[in-house]
Amino acid sequence: MLAERRPKDISTDGAHLAKALDAQAALLPYALGVFAVSLPLFVWIGSFAANRVWMTASFAVFAINWGAFYAVVNWLRDQASQDLNRRARVQVMGGVLWALASVQVSMFALGAGPAREPLLLLATAGAVLCAFFAAPYLVGLLIVAPIAAAGPLVASFSGDRQLGELTWGATALALTLALILNRMFRRQHDLAVQHEHLVDERLRVLEAAERTARSKSDIVATLSHEIRNGLTGVTHVLAAAAGKGGRAAPSREQLNAALDAAQDLIAVLNATLDSETAESGRLSVEAQPFDPVRLVQDLALLDKPNAAIKGLELAVHIDPLLRLRDKGAIVADALRTRQIITNLLGNAVKYTVRGRIEVRLELREGQIAIEIADTGPGLSAEEMEQAFEPFRRIERTGAGVNGAGLGLSLSRQLARLMGGALEARSAVGVGSCFTLTLPFDPDAQCALDAGEMEAAVADTSGAPRALRILIAEDDALNAAMLRAILEQLGHQVVHAQNGRRAADLAKIAEFDLLMFDHRMPVMDGPAATASLREGEGPNRHAPIVAIIDGDGEETTGFLEAGADIMLRKPVTVAGVARALADASALDRRADRAAA
């Protein structure tokens, strides 16, 4: 049906206009039929007219209008009619054609002799029909109806006042009814538009739910595969190290393979969490100036051994304008930028079998462009689109290669969050080139890069050496990892498996620092902290570091119990060193003196 042909993506006003035009277009074939039926009646009445020349001319005009109107009806079926403004003008012009036909018949009736009154009544009926068929579109109604009524009114009043009053009453009534009909149409259109909006909203919600379900399914499938493979290798190596099954101790190569598997697993988990956080809009970046030259050179230096093992040449080309500048820096998140470049370089080394990898750094129109080009297998246009989709891996090039398929999609999201972009071009059998562009401030002073910041935290922690630290952690693996970090930083560690045991130890032995996990059996971290603060033992005023998963309620509970520093899991060397530095800066001597 003509009434169903309308643009899909239109505004609310456009939707009302489209529906009005659709309703009018749905009536047009009926209007065509009505005027076709009235043509023989017009010819019969006109045959009684005194002026046969006027009769012939009127018949010709009537036929021309009928043909033009038929062309308009057919035009509404074409794609060109999707332009609402053009369509509205054409439909109004079609109505004006019939209105002018009514005027012409009225003028013909003035000299028609005995056929005058029947012709005027026919012209009046035509004006009424014009108002009816123009009713769905208010603008068309206000234009077409007055023009169509003008001819019969003028011709009627010029000869017979009683006939003029009858014509006036008929046209006024027709216009009033047409306005009422238009009002009813608009109410129906409002309901239809609201219904369509509700349907569209429901579809959007349904599509979002389906995307979320697919994303969760992909996450589960990817993580289960990667975790199973990674943990299986680590388990075998650890079993050999423990002497189970009579196997010999693992070699250095096996230990390195297990370490690589564990690091790959951590990378997959981090990428998955970052991707989900970015997808939900909760991933934030911190824009600070840093030196792009130093960052690129350091990352290329880290990847050179891996490239050399595969016989690949890894070259770095720096724009001379960047080398000679005393000022100027990228304004972005240094850690996230490092993450993107590390992923791009890692992919280039991973997928390139022979040839070379080039890293180019240059200034482009107020931005820094970092290009990483390789002579790998290359990707087609369709494969490149798939490569940037989450959890999509290219079967032709990714066979036997670890990864979750999140690196490129996450890198593009991070680049956009920092005000930049990540683009790619590739050719099958030639290679690929990925270009990262980020904002550049020519007057900015460089801050520490990501590696320097982390090293600074570890080296300038300010914590005294050989602290006696009590840790309370029920998970053996977490406890071993935390103990290894603390001993790596040079501290002495005492481990308690639950909060009650930690509170009892704190009452009989003095410690420089206490670190309590939140969830523990027998007594949790906040309860152990509150017990320590309320007691009279030697560690009543000792600094307490709370180890939490990141929940705000956990932070509030620990702070209310008396904890001083929050340390979020998973713990890292830099995070622990920072927590120790903050704890060591606390001055509790005044509290102790007051006690």
pLDDT at res. 144: 82
Global pTM reads: 0.45
Per residue in 206-245, is it b (16+ CB within 10 Å) or e — as a string? Answer: eeeeeeeeeeeebbeebeeebeeebeebbebbeebeeeee
Q: What is the pLDDT of residue 449?
A: 47
Amino acid 478: pLDDT: 82
pLDDT at 21: 72
* DSSP codes joined into one string, 423-466: EEEEETTTEEEEEEEEEEETTPPPB--HHHHHHHHHHT--PPSS
Give yes or no for a contact between 341 and 313, defined as CB atoms under 8 angstroms apart: no
Q: What is the pLDDT of residues 179-188, one digit of tens each?
A: 888 888 888 8
Q: How far apart are CA 121 and CA 162, in angstroms?
A: 13
Q: How far apart are CA 74 and CA 80, in angstroms?
A: 11
Per-residue pLDDT tens over the stretch 457-470: 444 444 456 789 99
Q: Is 336 helix (H, G, I), strand (E, B) or coil?
A: helix
H/E run at residue 359: strand 356-364
What is d(CA 392, CA 145) in angstroms, rounded to the nearest whole number?
Answer: 62
**Contacts made by residues 261-268, CB under 8 angstroms, sequence distance 24+:** 261/229, 261/230, 261/231, 261/233, 261/234, 262/230, 262/234, 264/226, 264/230, 264/402, 264/403, 265/226, 265/227, 265/230, 265/231, 268/222, 268/223, 268/226, 268/227, 268/230, 268/402, 268/403, 268/404, 268/406
Distance of alpha carbon 280 from its chain centroid, rounded? Answer: 9
Write down the pLDDT at residue 3: 37
**Distance of CA 450 to CAs 216, 329, 334, Å?**
31, 14, 5
Regions in the chain scoring below 70 on pLDDT: 1-13, 28, 32, 39, 42-43, 45-55, 73, 77, 79-81, 111-112, 159, 212, 215-230, 233, 236-238, 240-261, 263-284, 390-406, 446-465, 550-552, 587-595
Q: Which residues make beta-bridge pairs with 440? A: 330
Q: Are 482 and 576 in contact (CB under 8 A)?
A: yes
Token representation of residue 570: 């998973």
Give 189's contacts (C-beta < 8 A, 6+ positions apart).
Answer: 15, 16, 19, 20, 23
Altogether, the residues listed in the chain come to a count of 595
For residue 588, the tally of other CB atoms under 10 A from its CB is 14
